[in-house]
Amino acid sequence: MTSSKRVRDRSKQKRVHDLEIATEKWKIFSKIHLLMDALRSEPEHVAPIRTLDRYRCQINLPRPHKLSDFLRKSPKLFELYTDRRGTTWVGLTPEAEDLVEEEEKEIESNSDKAAEHVTRFLMMSVDKRLRVDKIAHFRRDLGLAMDFRHNWVRRYPDLFRVVKSFEDGVEYLELVGWKKEWAVTELERKVGGVCGDENSEHSPGMLSLAFPVKFPPTYKKLFRYGGKIEHFQKREYLSPYADARGGRLVAGSLEFDKRAVAIMHELLSFTLEKRLVTDHLTHFRQEFAMPQKLMRLLLKHFGIFYVSERGRRFHVFLTEAYEGSELVEKCPLVIWKEKVQTLIGYRGKKKNIETFKDLSDLEDNDLLDIESDDDKSLGELREGEIIGLDDDFCLDDAEMDLQDVHDEYKGCGTA
Angle between helices 94-109 and 332-341 (to 10 degrees): 160
In contact, 414 and 225? CB cutoff 8 Å: yes
For the chain, the residue count is 415
In contact, 404 and 4? CB cutoff 8 Å: no
In 3D space, the residue among 127, 74, 161, 153 whose CA is nearest the CA of residue 243 turns out to be 127
Give the pLDDT confidence of 266-313 residue by residue, as tens digits: 999 999 999 998 887 888 888 998 888 888 888 888 889 999 877 667
Residue 238: helix, strand or coil by DSSP? strand
In 3D space, the residue among 54, 23, 131 whose CA is nearest the CA of residue 386 turns out to be 131
Beta bridge partners of 302: 305
In contact, 40 and 100? CB cutoff 8 Å: yes
Give the pLDDT confidence of 189-216 residue by residue, as tens digits: 887 666 655 556 667 788 888 899 888 7
In 3D space, the residue among 294, 312, 307, 316 whose CA is nearest the CA of residue 373 turns out to be 312
In this predicted structure, which of 71-85, 302-316, 390-404 has the lowest mean pLDDT? 390-404
Q: Which long-range contacts (CB under 8 A, 24 or more apart) does 146-150 make?
A: 146/37, 146/378, 146/379, 148/379, 149/383, 149/385, 150/383
In 3D space, the residue among 11, 22, 405 whose CA is nearest the CA of residue 219 turns out to be 11
In 3D space, the residue among 288, 284, 207, 210 whose CA is nearest the CA of residue 251 turns out to be 288
Percentage above 90 pLDDT, the chain = 37
Instruction: Compute the Cα dihedral for 264, 268, 270, 271 and give only its sign.
Output: positive
Judge residue 229's burial from the number of C-beta atoms within 10 Å of its C-beta, 0-12 exposed, 13-18 middle, 19 or more buried. buried
pLDDT (0 to 100) of residue 4: 44
Give the pLDDT confidence of 79-119 residue by residue, as tens digits: 999 988 889 999 999 999 999 999 999 999 999 999 999 99
pLDDT (0 to 100) of residue 196: 56
pLDDT (0 to 100) of residue 252: 75
pLDDT (0 to 100) of residue 122: 95
pLDDT (0 to 100) of residue 379: 39
pLDDT (0 to 100) of residue 366: 44
pLDDT at 38 over 50: yes
**C-alpha to C-alpha distance for 110 and 108, rounded to whole angstroms:** 5
Give the pLDDT confidence of 307-339 residue by residue, as tens digits: 987 766 789 999 999 999 899 999 999 999 999
pLDDT (0 to 100) of residue 396: 34
Between strands 88-92 and 160-164, the pairing is unpaired
Supply φ then ψ for residue 243, to 5 degrees: -65, 120
13 against 376, higher pLDDT:
13
pLDDT (0 to 100) of residue 232: 85
Beta bridge partners of 174: 129, 161
Give the pLDDT confidence of 113-168 residue by residue, as tens digits: 999 999 999 999 999 999 999 998 889 899 998 889 889 999 999 999 999 988 88
Give the pLDDT confidence of 212-259 residue by residue, as tens digits: 988 877 666 655 566 778 888 888 999 999 987 766 677 778 888 999
Chain centre distance of CA 194: 27
Mean pLDDT of the chain: 78
Residue 74: what residue type?
A: S
Supply the DSSP string of 165-178, one letter for each residue.
Answer: -TTT--EEEEE-S-
The distance in angstroms from the start CA to the end CA of the chain is 29
Angle between helices 111-124 and 254-270 (to 10 degrees): 170
Please, where are the H alpha helices in 136-176?
139-142
Q: What is the dihedral of CA 384, 385, 389, 393, to 10 degrees?
A: -140
Supply φ then ψ for residue 354, to 5 degrees: -85, -40
